[in-house]
Structure formats: structure tokens, C-alpha cells
Structure 1
Amino acid sequence: MCADTPELNSESSVDYRDTVFLPETDFPMRGDLPKREPEWLARWEKLGIYNQLRAKQGRPSFVLHDGPPYANGHLHIGHALNKTIKDIINRSHQMMGHDARYVPGWDCHGLPIEWKIEEQYRAKGLDKDDVDTVAFRQECRKFAEGWIDIQREEFKRLGVYGNWEDPYLTMNYHAEAVIAEDFMKLLMNGSLYQGSKPVMWSPVEKTALAEAEVEYKDHTSHTIWVRFKPVAGLEGASVIIWTTTPWTIPQNRAVAYGPELAYGLYRVDAVEEKSTAAVDELLILGDAVAESVKAAAKIEGWTRVREVNPAEFEGVILKHPYHGAEGGNGEWDYDVPMLPGDHVTDDAGTGFVHTAPSHGEDDYVLGLKFKLPMTYNVTEDSSYRADLPLFGGQAVFDQNGKEGPANVSNIKQLAYAGALLAKGKVKHSYPHSWRSKAPVIFRNTPQWFAAIDVTLQDEMNEHGTTIRERALKSINELVAFTPVSGQNRLRSMIENRPDWVLSRQRAWGVPLTCFVKKGAKPTDADFLLKNPALNARITAAFEKDGADVWYVEGFKEKILEGIADPAEYTQIFDVLDVWFDSGSTHSFVLRDRADGSKDGIADVYLEGTDQHRGWFHSSLLQASATRGRAPYRNVVTHGFTLDEKGMKMSKSIGNTVAPQEVISEYGADILRLWVALSDYTMDQRIGPKIIKGTADSYRRLRNTLRYMLGALAGYTPAEAVTAAEMPELEQWVLHRLAELDVEVRREYRAFNFAGVFQSLFQFCTVDLSAYYFDIRKDALYCDAPDSLRRRAARTVMDLLFARLTTWLAPILPFTMEDVWLSRHKDDAASVHLEDFPETPAGWLQPDLATKWSQIREARRVVTGALELQRTAKVIGASLEAKPQVYVADTAVLAALNSVAFADLCITSGISLSGNAAPQGAFALNEVPGLSVVFAPAEGEKCQRCWQILPDVGSHKHAATCARCNEVLG
């Protein structure tokens, strides 16, 4: 039966069109999603869908804890990807019988917001340091509040459901109190200490940066080769170092060598005209890099006098290049020892490493080992201290991130001192602040740290006694990772990370709520004031008035009253690294909220792959320190969004895709479908062509659902038949539903909804639209309403509807609501109040599925044979055929004889034979043992069902077949 209404036979005056049961539905072919989606959002809000779901009793908890986005701008496509993935996971677990609570949150403190307020100040010619700290913090708070309201509406427009009326904010008073309380746990358990070590420092923003706040970009640096002269020994030869940071030379305290490297003593024999090398001077270099130094120094010829054993460097003292410098005031008249260092390599440079413990991680470690002095020559804006001889006040980078005079001044001084062997420039990857986009430096500053290898003074030792031990055990034993590669990535970071730098020299954040004793050293036992009663007071004050009270004049005196003499203690005004804020969210969300997690542990943390060094990482460290283990059971990561060519999105390139633009043109469901069609564990590509392709897939799926709605017009439960009563074709569809039920639930639980959608899309377009619906059109349109075959088909359609709409609702919430309401006209109805229907185990029939797989393959051969005749214009429709089918396999032949194979092939008849096929019969290589010979259908065309049958015209109703005549009565 064709999908269209039968045409009126010109030879007959009878019109049977009104007797055919064609699909009827008001469900539109076009979704018109941009216009209609806001109506559903308003409806869901009116119905209180999220709160209705919370009222369902006795369901196991499922909590996906929201990694807080930053409240400082409109959403980008990465936000849309992230929140959609979370929403699909939450909705699917809710519909699988869980209580899937979702509390969205925002990260509100920190440098990005503070930087925006400072920009506003600079535009007005104001200085932040002249403004009252509390007033400044209030401006930061107001700025964050404004963007939270904007982002909340943008997230809701994506169809993301959650407790939007009561989200968590890291700047809420309770959150600030808990963050401070958790910080004070570090104070009490012995992991907090003040140290002086080099950290990545932004001269523009005047603060230390975490690794997650740094991005690496190409940068052109000065590069120099410098002579260090021995005080004695080494035959007077100069030891040559190489560095790309000339500004660190004033801080040099040692020269490191590799104990296992090969070195040589080289005598200069000839030089080019502009070389600063001198004939007959002796240089000591690593042999592997000697030729590169020779070229850089413009040395035409030299002689390798002899091998230098690294043992000869032991105990050698060098002079600083500025030793005895005019105007140096003796600043650099100290010994520079040669020290062995495992970090020294000979793949670049000179085989020796200039060591400034105040300005490099390896340098710092070597300095600790050999007790080298730390220097404090560089101030917070990257300028030398004003009283530093020769260079006082000169900056490495200025306030715009441009190069200051420090490098060039050092190069000139080295040349003046006769220490400069060569100079040049090199383009290399260099750390930059991802906010100001300016270069950063390594700078020695007093900072507060959490020691991750110290034995903690608490009783949470089930998973280890140090932060690192607890974190690694969590990774190895307590947490599952999707994809599994995330485990190795996070583990390697935890294994190799240094102590956590907690402090930032800023104003907008939670302060480090501690006091230090004046005159005491950080190593003294009484350096930090440790008092549980004081901690409780601070927590209570923050709970009542927020962290701003820390900055109110007189707070120290009030809070220390009766506990300690305020005059003896210094109040710390640094603020906590914002990663500690977000790392603490498990405490004030999962633990403290009624809609949190019963045990304070989330079922899922889900963010982008960059959060292995960000939120996953800080949450793991913070929770390991304060609760003894990871705050999550599953870590799920997604990739980044790229343009259609696989390039990183950039506003300057003009290849960004704004979610708001996609929604305004196509609708949020199309954006959500793009997410579902992608393997989110990899980087995602998006652009106009990809979105258009997604919209095409959506239309195909929508048409399938629309047909199903039309076929179900007027259906009532009274029509239903049991599975046992159904024809085998319907039982096969039920089998497929049973298979899909297992698969859909499994993949949703595994957070693999790309697998869910692909399976359902394939089922809808191939199994249903192109196969089952195509076959059953004749029965649905032309069988009597009370016929078993038609009732069975409609029963299956009803069962399909219940499952497809709910299975797809987490991915396409707007469209599935539209589909659902097309059948359920109740004002209180919503597909999102439903669960996935339970599927009877009896529907699963593997033997029947095997049989129907054979039948379907046989149908493919018949269809192929008829398509040749259609192409040759021998026939116009398959109902004009009555093919002859030759089947070699007796079991397959029996299977075909046991069903109405002609109906399955949509032909007016078919003949089956076990004889050998005649020569020239049509066959497919992939379906051996089955051949088809075309033959036209015999008889006349029924004007109601279009089948060509011998009995047409011999019944009461003119030009009808027996079946149609009986239906007409």
C-alpha cells in the first residue's frame, strides 16, 4: 500500500478514499523550535517540573555536582556543550528511577572579576589601592551577581533543568564561611605553612598564578651565553652558561653541571670580526652542544684541548659576572659554587645551568639541597628593588606586559664586564596569564602552601596519611573515569605536583583566615595561632556577615578578644586561590544542602579535559586534606570545541560559534542534538555545515515520530492485544525494543548518550521507517479496525511511542514534550514526569530474531530485483510485481513460507521455490542461495489498497479485492 491516498480509477465512479484509514495528526512537520521552545520553558516553570520530580519518594539518589562556571561573561559554545552533557546525564538517570538532583553553581571570586573592576577604575583614572577594600569587594560582588542572572537565563534556554531558584554561589555567606572553615582545617592538621619559593607571577596583575591560570604562547626572548670565571683551578677556563632570562643574572647563586655528561676544554684559535670571543681564551662546554656555542659566538676555529671529567668541578668556586663591578657596591662579591644537578642536560644550551633559586623550580630545588641563599631583588610589578645597584627600579615587563629595560641593561653590563660571550634572540613557548595575556615570570615571594606530603594530624587515615597518598588511592581505587585515559592523566599530575600555593595577593576572595606571631619565624612552633575557639568565631562571623568582615577595621581585636593579644599577631590579608574555593564546593553543596548528597560524595564530576589540572585536581586535593578522600565516584571529561576545520575557536579569527545564534536560528534541541551526535570524549567540531547536517538528522527523526503519531490517531487501550497474540513481525519489533531497553539503559549509565542516540536513530530510520512502517502501511490503512493485524500494529505503535519519547527526552526535551502532548492533552502532563517504561523479559526472543534476520535478508534480494525493474520503467510500484523466489536453504525456505512474505516485500503476490534458480536470475553476493526472477502481478488493481489481484472486480464493491470488500461490508 502506498503512503498516499489512492487515486480514483477513471473507469470507476466509486471513490474509496474516505474508507482508507490514513494517518491523522496535528503534529507539524516543521518544529519551529526557536519560537516554540520558550513556550515549553514557561510551561515547565509553571508546572514546577523539577520540584514535582523531587516529590517522588523512595528513589535512590544520583547527584552530578556542577563544576562552577565563572560569572563574568556570556556563554560560549563550550558552556553549551558542558551543560547539555550534564543535563542529559541528569535527565536520563531521573527517568531510570533515580532522584537526580542538580544544583547549578557559580565561581564568583578571583582575579577575572577583580581585573574587570580594575579596568573600570583605570578608565576613570582611579587607583584601586586608594579605595576601601570592603567597598571594592562589594563592587566585585555586584558585578558577579549581574552575570549570574544573565548566564542563568542562557543556561535555562538550553533546556537545562535544575534548582535554578537556589543555586550555589561561592560568594554566598555560608559558602565563604565553609571555605574559611576548610582552610582552617589545613591550619590545624599541620599541612599549612608559609614558605618562600619561586612561583609563576603576573607582573601586570601583581599576583601569583596557579598552573591552571597560565597558557603557553610564542614569545621572543633575549638569549645570552655568559662567561663565569673560576676563582682558581680549571686552568683559568671560563665556564659558559646560556639563558633566555638575562634579568635573572643578578640573582645567580650557583652554576649546575651534569655529573654524567661529557665536557671538553676548548681553546679559541680564530674568530670572526664581530665576535666577542678572544683568541687563545679557554672555554669549558658540554661536548654535545659545543658546535652550537661555537656558531653563536662567531668562533671560526678552535681546538678541543682535552676531556674535562665532571669530577673536576667538585668544589670549584666561580666569580659572579658582576663581581667587583664599578658601582656594584660589592653586591655580587660572593662565591658562586659549581654544583651537580640531575636536571642538567646537553640537548640545548651549554651543558651548564645558570642557577637563580629565587626564579626557577629546578633552581629552587637545587638551592634547598645545597642551602643556597634566596634573593628578593624583584618586586611585585617585576621591577628590581629600588636600592639594587646598577639596575634599581628597572622592570622586566611593564604594566602593559611589554618588555622593560631589565634584560637589555643586564646584557650591556655583561658586555661591559667582559662576561658576554654571545647574544641573540629566540622564539619559544613561554607562559602567559590567560587573563591579561601578558608574560609571567618566576618570582620568589613569601606564599602560603599546603604541604601534600606531610603526615596530617587528623584521624581520616583510611586512605592514607598525607594529601598525596589519599589523592592517589582515590584515583586508583575509589573513582571511575570516563574516558579511562583521564585516570592516568590525573594520576601523573598528582604524582609529580609540588605543594599547593594557596595564597594570592588580591582583594576579591576568601581571605586566609590566620594570624602569625610577630617576630616568629615560619619554622617556629608558635608562628601560627592555632585555636579551635578562634576558628569557630571566624566561621560564625563569616556565616553572619560574609568574608568582608575580615577587612573591617577592628576585626582583629574583636575576634582575638580573650584568646590572644592582638598586638602580638599579624592578620593575613592574602586571599585564597580560587581553585580552593571551587575545590571546597563539596563541603557546602554536597554535605550541607538538603538537596546535596547523603554522604557528601558526588556520583559524578563532569568537566572539560583541562580540569584534570583544574577543578578535578583542586577538589581532589582539598577533599583529601579535609575529608580523607576524593569527593566524587566518577570523573567524566569532554573535549574542546573546534571549528569545522578542526581549528581552535578565536574571536580574532572569526570562527567562533555562539550558542545563542544557533538557538535563534535552529532551536536549542538542534544544539543538544549536535552534542548527542558527537563523541564528547574527543574534541568537538561545530560550524554552519555541521549544524545544518544535524538539523537534517533531526527532521528525519521528527518525520518518523510524526508518522507514528498519525498512525495512532484514535487509539485506545481497548484495541491492545497481548504479545503472544501478535503476528511474528510485531513480536520481532518487541524483541528489538527489549534489546534497545537494555542498551539504552546501559549506555545512559555509562554516560555514552552518543551511543544511545545513534542506536535509536538507526532503529527509527532503518528498522521502523524503512522497514516496519513501510510494511505495515497496508494493514494500518486498509485492514478493518478490529482486525488482529491492524490492532497488533497499533499496539506496537503505542509501545514504541512510550519508549521512544522517554528514551529520547533527555536528549531532545523540547521535541519529545511536543510529541508527548500531541497524544496526552492533559494540562498537567509532561514527558519529563515519566520514567523509562519497564520492558517485559518475555519480549526478548533471540530465536525469532535470528529467523527474521534471514527473512529480512531475503527481502533485500527481492527489493533489489524489483528496483531494477523500476529503474527500467517496467513497473512503477512494487505492488505491480509477483516475483518468483528461489531458495536453496530449506530452513530459510520454511521460514519464508511461514510468513506472509508478499506482504513483507510489498508485492501483490510472490511464489517461493526450493528448485534451482534459472540462469540470469537476480542475486546478491552477500545473500547466497537466494535468487529472484521478476514476474508481473496478475489481475486488476484494487482501487482501495492498490494491490493487483485476480479477484478484483468480482465482489460486491466494485474494483476491490476480497479483503477490501469485506472491510467495506
Structure 2
Amino acid sequence: MTDAPDYKSTVFLPVTDFPMKAGLAQKEPAIAAKWEAMDLYGKLREKRAGRERFILHDGPPYANGDIHMGHAMNKVLKDIIVRSQSLLGKDAPYVPGWDCHGLPIEWKIEEEYRKKKLNKDEVPAAEFRAQCRAYADKWVGVQKDQFKRLGVMGDWADPYLTMKFDAEATIVGELLKFAESGQLYRGAKPVMWSPVEKTALAEAEVEYEDVTSTQIDVAFEIVEAPNAPELVGAHAVIWTTTPWTIPVNQAIAFGEDIEYVLVPSKTDGRQYLVAKDSALILSFVSRLTGKNFARWADAMALAGEDERVGDWLACFADNSFAKEQRVFKGTDLAGAIARHPMHALGGFFAKPRPLLPADHVTTDAGTGLVHMAPDHGEEDFIACKKLGIDPVFAVNDAGFYRDDWDWLPGQGSVINTKFNGAEGPICTDLRAVGALLSASDFRHSYPHSWRSKARIIYRCTPQWFIPMDKPQEDGVADVDGGVMPTPVVSGNGPTLREIAVDAIEHTRWVPERSTNRIRSMVEGRPDWVISRQRAWGVPIALYVHRKSGQYLVDPAVNARIIDAFKGAGADAWFGADHQALLGPDYDFNDYEVVNDILDVWFDSGSTHSFVVEGRYGEGTRADLYIEGSDQHRGWFQSSLLESCGTRGQAPYKAVLTHGFALDGTGKKMSKSLGNVVDPLKIMSESGADILRVWVASTDYFDDVRIGKEVLAGSSDAYRKLRNTFRYMLGALSDYDEETEAVSYAEMPELERYMLHRLAQLDAELRAVVDKAAKSENWLEFSRYTRAIFDFANSDLSAFFFDIRKDCLYCDAKSDPKRRAYRTLLDTLFHALVRYVAPIIPFTAEEVWQSRFPNEEESVHFLEWPEVDRHWINSHLNDKWGELRSQREQVNEAIEPFRREKIIRSSLEADVTMGELLPSDGVDFAEVAIVARVTMGVGDGIVVKPSDWHKCGRCWRKLPEVTEEGTLCDRCDEVLKA
């Protein structure tokens, strides 16, 4: 008996050099280098010139340090969107940028000084600014290379930097627009202040953390009470969690609608004025003893042990005091005067402390009486201003009391917990004069600087503000809290707040729920504090008249200022010949030069003016802004306010908000926790495309997780997709469209069904990327990516390719069915390689060049595939949907026979089914990849090994094969040909 012939060489197996092992970490840098050498971005601009433009304006990261996962997630998402818009045929430029001014960089230079034991204030300002510029420039270069390694395509040769001279000139020009329109004032208001960084902070620069403070109750003796003489000699009790503000107290506030009572104390013989609220009194007793009483019974049990508690509870139990004593209305306290506990020090502390009405007083916490320090609270400032009580600026920029202050001169820092503690100097002094009634720990949320992580304070300092609620009208602005009148423009326009809220309603917010977040923030925000007391930034280039207090508004002077900035940047102001800038019409001796710098959020909020408008024309707005959810109070808002104040509209048409990257367990990444996932490490080990698959697959509208398991899932999904392309490349290795392509009408039904599925996929993907589709899923790339992967895995690899591999391998090359299959493979290839290009740009380029090698071309020059909507066929959808369902049932029935090794392949199975769909010419045995299918009795599926013999070439078991290993009729014909 001779051996059976080996027909392996006669089978048309796929042939390709495209490797299954990706090796992305090694290949991607070479591909990126090729893109840079061929100027991919520049050539793409040329190819899309004149097309509809789509502008995604890049929010500027700070140029300080290596990129982290948040950077990677943000930049990859932007790149995916820009590439997808380019794929649609649009001109989609991307200009990356950096925020180069402000504390993040200045703080780093100061850290270097501290390490060398140098004092920043002893270094010439110009030298310090030059070091900041050099530091920013260094990290711009580092981050640029890291972003390029991610596969981000953009104008890397000419990015925007807020420290470029043209940018600084434009930023100061935007400021002067506010000045010329009267939307600027200088006022002494309490602002959030960092004693560590010695500057005012914006809300976006603040984060809140739980802290333990010392809460105290302090008694102020009432010395006058014209409406209630019996209050004279009594003590008003206030509660505060900031003991350091007691040395700056100037008044006590009451609520006009609150009822108050005098509580006698047997211990010290005093009477204490507090709000008539038993729950409040119980809270006071809790603070008095340092115990938390939730019930009167618990407090009463202690009354016998603590004489103070007994005194208070004897008065308040069952409200028996109310029967014997007068209840005072809040209005009865009007005109009353108290004296500061430290009045014996004289000077500031000897001045009377008026009791005044204020809307913010409640009985929710405290005693119903609020001590007022206008230097350190916005509500205090407003209430005291009505009575002509001005700030005293007792606390300096480092958080210490002034050296000439009468109490605790030169001491602090006021954010020091020991200084404010129960045994600290403030409490000790108050206790010594009998004014401290209680001191205990209090856990609460408190603002911190997000850079230094130190506590901040509210501190009244002269600052520059953009008002939120000043209408544009004739005359002189009278902004509440302002100390300097400023000119305004004519008209009765809306306020900046009203313009901004209206702009929010006319902007598309993705996801839609983020609209409420930005609206509530704008509706409730205070005036914008735009000044900072630092060195590295764009100066507030204004001249203030020494006598009138008005800042100079002269377009000619402003034009000279802007020109000077264009030539030398912000340094032009600090070293300027100010008389030359003022010109012949003004005497420099009459003016004060403002040397504060601008809030860095004003810098970044102005980027639309020198990037979007500067590059694409005045009046141009960005189609899209994309940043993390924290930017509702940051860049989204500062850009909105800046543009609304100067242009009357938002600088963007749509805004996408994404969440934050967390570790694999859902925790915030932290170096101290050791759970940081480094994108640079991922790229060096697995490749950028794996990281990009993760970004595109996440539901990034919420916080997302990344860790080993998550990345393993991304790698597996990528591997399957890569295998799909490898199969297609092999199957199409010798495909000739001119000689092989067939028309839609010539295609078998299965191919036409697959074109139907491709058209469905195309519509689903377009709904994500095309704004014109009006889809709720716009920019939801997790849906886009999932649809592609599901199509490649389920429709192609597990179904279509599986069925047609026999046709590809064994049919004659000229066979119409094989030609139809390869025609469809070509269509699928051109569609899929385009669809995935925005997600995995390196792999898409590798795939494309494997089939169409050309050093001057790129897959990223291609446009969205042409998909005929007539391919949609509901009849085929229903019919093949049922056939696929039956195919799955057959596979499930065969699986036990495979496990038991009764059959090795489904091709060896005979299947009997109780019910078959009308096949309409479809060979279900071919669809199910079995030997034969017959009708039986009942509803089940019966499987048995086929008794037919196997063809030696195609391995199918067929009736015409007379003995094992001989050829079937089809294979015999192919070999004869």
C-alpha cells in the first residue's frame, strides 16, 4: 500500500510577511520617525486644504515634569478625534500647546533655590524670570517627544506656548480689551491666599481636604445696648474654627429673624447671649466639655460632675428659662456695642465692636452670633463695608501678623495648627482674660493649594478683578467692593455672568449632564480675581493715576504696550521706558505702574485668541475643547469668561469632558501609595497602540481604571484585531482588482449579507465621529472601538472567514465564488484599515504599507471608505440572523463530541435537525462547516460521525470520495486545470 499523495502545495494558503508578533515597542519609533521625515502633518494639511475645517483646540498642560497617565489619556483621546475628523475628509489641524507661566513652574525654581539655601527675593527679577523660561522650555521639549511617542499627530514644529512673545502680546491685548470696556476694577476684597506661595489663588487652584481644627467659643462683653439695656454687661458668645481670625475681629453679626436669650451661669456669675435653640445649646455644651452629646439625657448625666454643664443645662432643660427671662428679637440687638476680649491692649483692640445684622447668620452651627473679620471673609467684608468698617491688613503675605500689630506681633503662621490649637498663644491669651469658654477638635473640609498642598486662608489684599454682575451702561462703574472707579462703555448690555450662562446654553456639552456642572459654577462664582503677586507671568500692564485712582484708557498707549510685548515679551514691561510707552500726552510722574502679573488661567483662557483666531482668522471659534472634568472650574470656564467678556460668545461650539485615570482597583494614583501606572513604561514594554486601545475602549466620560489586568484585556483585543488584518493581507497577497473583482449582483448571498453588515457598521461608526449625524453617541469612542472589534471577531474571524476559508484555500483561482470572496475581502480591508487608523495609527500604517508599500504615502492620507447605503438589506439581515443562530446551535451540539475526541473537526460531523429554515439556495452544511445536514423528527439536534470519506486536499467528507485521501470532484477539477 502506497502513501497518500501530499496535496499541501496545491492549496492556496494565505501568504504574508506581516508578523503575528507585533513588536510595537520596537516598530513604533521607526514609524514615527518616518512620519516626521516625510512631514506627514504638513502634507496632510496640503491634501485637506480648502475642505471644511474642524478645529480641536488643545488645552495647555503645564510644562513641568514627565507626562502622566492623565496626560496620555487626554492627548490620545484628542488625537483619535482629530484623526477621525481628518478621515471624514475634513481639514482637521491640531496645534499642541503649553502653559508656561505661573506658580507650577515658579514653584519648581524656588524649590531648586531652597535646596541650595538661596533666597529667591535676593535674585534679580530678570534673572529669575529667565530661569523660569529656561525651565519651561526644557520640559516643553521633553513632553513634546513623549506626546509624539504616543502617536499624537500635530504641528509639533510650531506649537503654541503662552511664553512666546506674540502670545504674551496677545494676552496683554486681551486684558486691555477688558480695561477699555470698563470690565476691570481694583478692589480690596478677601481672596483665597496661599501663605506658602505668597499669592492669591483662583478657585481652580484650590482643592478641599478634611482637616482637624480647633473650634472655640469666645465671650465678648456687651457695653452698650440702646434697644435692650438689660444686655449691658452680658457676654455675646461666638463660635469659630479659625482662632487666628480673633485678633482681626471688628464686629459681631446677628440674624434679624433669630430669637436670642440670656443664659445665667452660676459658675462665673455672667449672663451669656446666644440664640434660643435647644439643639444649638446642646451643641455648645458638647463643645464646652469636648464630648459629643446627641441626647439631653446623656448631657444631664454629666451635670453632676461638671459644674459648668450643670449651670447651662439647669437653664435650658425643658426651656424653663423662657418663663423667667426675656426673649430678644434680632432687631433688639441693633445698635449694641461689645468690646474685644483683648481690649486692654489698647489701640485697635480698644475700639468698639458693633453688633450688626447680616444675612449669612444662621443657627445651623455655632451660637447664632458670628464674629466678623472683614479681612478674612467675603460675607464679613460686605456686611462691614455697609457700616464703613474697612480691612486692617493685619496678616501679611506669609501668614504672620504684622510686626506693629498690638497682639501677637510678628507671630504665626496662622495656618499652623499648633499656633491655633487649644494650648497655642491665641487660646492661652483668651483663657487668661476669661473669654475662652471652650476649645476642642473639629473635623471639617478645608481648602488647600493644589500645588503646595498647604492650607490657604481668605485674606483681604488689593487685587484686580473682572466683575461678573456689572451691566454695561453709561457713567462710572460702582462695583461693590471696588476702591477705584473705572470707565465703562455705552449701552445697557447684560452682565458677564448673563452672557456666559447664555453661551453655555448654546454650546454642546458632551456628555450632556456636564451642562449642569458648568452652569452652576458660573451662576455661583464670585468676581474673577485676575491678579497674582508673583514674578513669572504676563504683567497687568496698566497705569493708575496717582490722584484719581483711575487706570489710564488710551488706545494709542495700549497699542504701544502691545508692540513692546511683541518685541520683547513680558520683560518689556518690567524694564520699560514707561514715559516712552505713555507718549507725549502724559507725564509718567503722575502714574503708578502696576507690576502684578495675570492669573495663569487668564493666560490659558486667552489661548483661543492667538491660536484659533490667530491662525485661522478673526471670529473663528473652535469646534471642540476636550479636558478632564476639573476644567469646568478651570480652563473651560476661564476661556468662556474671557471670550464672553471680549467677544460676547463662547470660544467653542462643543466641549467634551472626560474622567480621570485611576489604578486597577479604582484608587487615585499616588507616588506615596506606589500605585502609579506610567504611560512611558507601558509604551516601552507594550507599545503606544496598546495604550491607545485602552483609551478608546474606556467609558471615559466617567473615571476609568488601568492596571495589569485591564491592559491585558487591551492587548488581547489588539492581538485578535491584528490577526484579522494578517489573515486579510495573506488572503489578498496576489489579488488583482482589474481581473478578479466582481459586481455586487454577481456576489453570492453570504457576501451580500456581509456587505449589509459592513454598511451597518459604517453607520454606527459615523454616528460616533460625524457631528452631522446628530447622534447622542457623538465622540463616544468606546462604542466605536467595541463595534470594530466585535465586527472583526464575531462577523469576520468567527463567522465569515471561517466559512469561506475552504473556498479561499481550495476553489480554483478563477472560480466566481472565490473571486467574489476576495473582492469582498478587498472591500473589507480598505474599510477596516481606515476605521482603525485613528485608534491604532502605528499598526494601521504597518498594515497599509505591508500591502501597498510606498515611502511617500500613508494610511493617514486616506478618507472615509465609500459604503453604498443600498447594501442595507433587511431581508438578508433577518434570514442570515436566523442562519447564524442555527449555526451556533449546531456548534454547541458538536462541542461535546470534540471534547470526547469522537470527532476532531466539525467537518467530520453529520447533523440531523428537527427544523431548517428555507435555504433559498444556501448550503447550510457549508455555513455550519459540517459534512451534511439532514431533516429529522423532533426539535433537537443529533450529531454523529460522518461515514463519508475525507478528501485528501480539502479535508471535507463528501459522498463522491470513494476512499480516504482521494480527491473530491471539486479538488480533482482544480488540479486538472
Question: TM-score normalized by structure 2?
Answer: 0.91
CA distance in 1, matches of 2:112, 2:175: 32
Deviates more, 1:403-412 or 1:682-691: 403-412
Match of 2:40 in 1: 49
Q: CA deviation at 1:13?
A: 3.2
1:449 matched to 2:478? The reply is: no
CA distance in 2, matches of 1:773, 1:584: 54
Q: Is the 8 A contact 2:372 2:380 kept in 1?
A: yes
2:431 to 415, 424, 430: 415
Q: Is the 8 A contact 1:464 1:470 kept in 2?
A: no
Match of 1:433 in 2: 449
1:753 matched to 2:744? The reply is: no
Q: Is the 8 A contact 1:938 1:949 kept in 2?
A: no
CA distance in 2, matches of 1:772, 1:320: 89
CA distance in 2, matches of 1:498, 1:370: 22
1:738-795 CA distance string (max 9 Å, x none): 1111111111231111110000101111111111111111111111111111111111
Q: CA deviation at 1:174?
A: 0.5
1:221 to 213, 217, 226: 213
1:34-81 CA distance string (max 9 Å, x none): 111001001111121111110123310000000001011110000000
CA distance in 2, matches of 1:228, 1:402: 24
Match of 2:917 in 1: 893
1:68 to 55, 60, 70: 60
2:843 to 815, 832, 838: 815
1:618 matched to 2:626? The reply is: no
Match of 1:524 in 2: none
Match of 1:392 in 2: 409
SS of 2:547's equivalent in the other structure is coil
1:162-194 CA distance string (max 9 Å, x none): 000000000111101011111011111111101
CA distance in 2, matches of 1:382, 1:880: 85
1:949 matched to 2:926? The reply is: no
1:420-470 CA distance string (max 9 Å, x none): 111122232221111122111111100010112222379999995321121
1:157 matched to 2:149? The reply is: yes
1:877-900 CA distance string (max 9 Å, x none): 11112212222xxxx632x25311
SS of 2:734's equivalent in the other structure is coil
CA distance in 1, matches of 2:617, 2:885: 51
Q: Is the 8 A contact 1:460 1:628 kept in 2?
A: no
Match of 2:910 in 1: 882
Instruction: Kindly provide the amino acid, as one letter, of the partner of residue 871 in structure 2.
Output: W
Distance 1:415 1:344, change over 3 A: same
1:608 to 622, 628, 631: 628
CA distance in 2, matches of 1:820, 1:585: 37
1:902-940 CA distance string (max 9 Å, x none): 100101221246xxx34xx53xxxxxxxxx222443421
Q: Is the 8 A contact 2:219 2:341 kept in 1?
A: no
2:356 to 317, 339, 346: 339
Distance 1:715 1:403, change over 3 A: farther
Match of 2:480 in 1: none
1:538 matched to 2:550? The reply is: no
1:329 matched to 2:324? The reply is: no
2:247 to 247, 250, 261: 250
Instruction: Kindly provide the amino acid, as one letter, of the partner of residue 587 in structure 1.
Output: S
1:471 to 500, 503, 507: 500
Q: CA deviation at 1:381?
A: 1.2
CA distance in 1, matches of 2:74, 2:684: 19
Match of 1:350 in 2: 367
SS of 1:293's equivalent in the other structure is helix
Match of 1:837 in 2: 865
CA distance in 1, matches of 2:112, 2:360: 45
Deviates more, 1:411-420 or 1:933-942: 933-942
Match of 1:928 in 2: none
Q: CA deviation at 1:138?
A: 1.1
Q: CA deviation at 1:650?
A: 0.6
Instruction: Kindly provide the amino acid, as one letter, of the partner of residue 268 in structure 2.
Output: A
Match of 2:580 in 1: 558
Q: CA deviation at 1:297?
A: 2.0
Q: Is the 8 A contact 1:775 1:906 kept in 2?
A: yes
SS of 1:358's equivalent in the other structure is coil
Match of 1:241 in 2: 238
Q: CA deviation at 1:950?
A: 1.8
1:25 to 2, 16, 28: 16
CA distance in 1, matches of 2:744, 2:716: 35
1:729 matched to 2:720? The reply is: no
CA distance in 2, matches of 1:345, 1:689: 52
1:375 matched to 2:396? The reply is: no
1:764 to 774, 792, 799: 792
Q: Is the 8 A contact 1:230 1:316 kept in 2?
A: no
Q: Is the 8 A contact 1:267 1:303 kept in 2?
A: yes
Q: Is the 8 A contact 1:463 1:469 kept in 2?
A: no
CA distance in 2, matches of 1:403, 1:155: 45
CA distance in 2, matches of 1:599, 1:259: 51
Match of 1:188 in 2: 180
Distance 1:681 1:211, change over 3 A: same
CA distance in 1, matches of 2:758, 2:230: 83
1:502 to 530, 535, 553: 530
Q: Is the 8 A contact 1:230 1:237 kept in 2?
A: yes
1:698-757 CA distance string (max 9 Å, x none): 111111221121111211102111111111111011001111111111112311111100
Question: TM-score normalized by structure 1?
Answer: 0.92
Percent identity of equivalent pairs: 48
CA distance in 2, matches of 1:37, 1:463: 59
Q: What is the RMSD computed on CA atoms of the aligned residues?
A: 2.2
2:610 to 549, 570, 588: 588
1:12-42 CA distance string (max 9 Å, x none): 4311111111111111111101111001001
Q: Is the 8 A contact 2:196 2:398 kept in 1?
A: yes
1:204 matched to 2:202? The reply is: no
Distance 1:11 1:537, change over 3 A: same
Match of 1:303 in 2: 315
Instruction: Kindly provide the amino acid, as one letter, of the partner of residue 239 in structure 1.
Output: A
Distance 1:403 1:543, change over 3 A: farther
Q: Is the 8 A contact 1:216 1:431 kept in 2?
A: yes
Q: CA deviation at 1:312?
A: 4.9
Distance 1:162 1:460, change over 3 A: farther
CA distance in 2, matches of 1:641, 1:365: 41
CA distance in 2, matches of 1:937, 1:370: 102
Deviates more, 1:463-472 or 1:694-703: 463-472
CA distance in 2, matches of 1:106, 1:723: 52
Q: Is the 8 A contact 2:255 2:330 kept in 1?
A: no
Q: CA deviation at 1:119?
A: 2.2
1:570 matched to 2:570? The reply is: no
Match of 1:318 in 2: 337
Q: CA deviation at 1:416?
A: 2.2
CA distance in 2, matches of 1:911, 1:406: 89
Distance 1:826 1:546, change over 3 A: same
SS of 1:882's equivalent in the other structure is strand
Q: Is the 8 A contact 1:396 1:406 kept in 2?
A: no
Deviates more, 1:448-457 or 1:745-754: 448-457
Instruction: Kindly provide the amino acid, as one letter, of the partner of residue 463 in structure 2.
Output: Q
CA distance in 1, matches of 2:437, 2:567: 64
Match of 2:376 in 1: 359
5 Å-filtered alignment, 1:678-757, equals 678-717=698-737, 718-749=739-770, 750-757=778-785
1:458-488 CA distance string (max 9 Å, x none): 99999953211211111012x1001112111
Instruction: Kindly provide the amino acid, as one letter, of the partner of residue 34 in structure 1.
Output: A
Instruction: Kindly provide the amino acid, as one letter, of the partner of residue 368 in structure 2.
Output: G
CA distance in 2, matches of 1:726, 1:786: 14
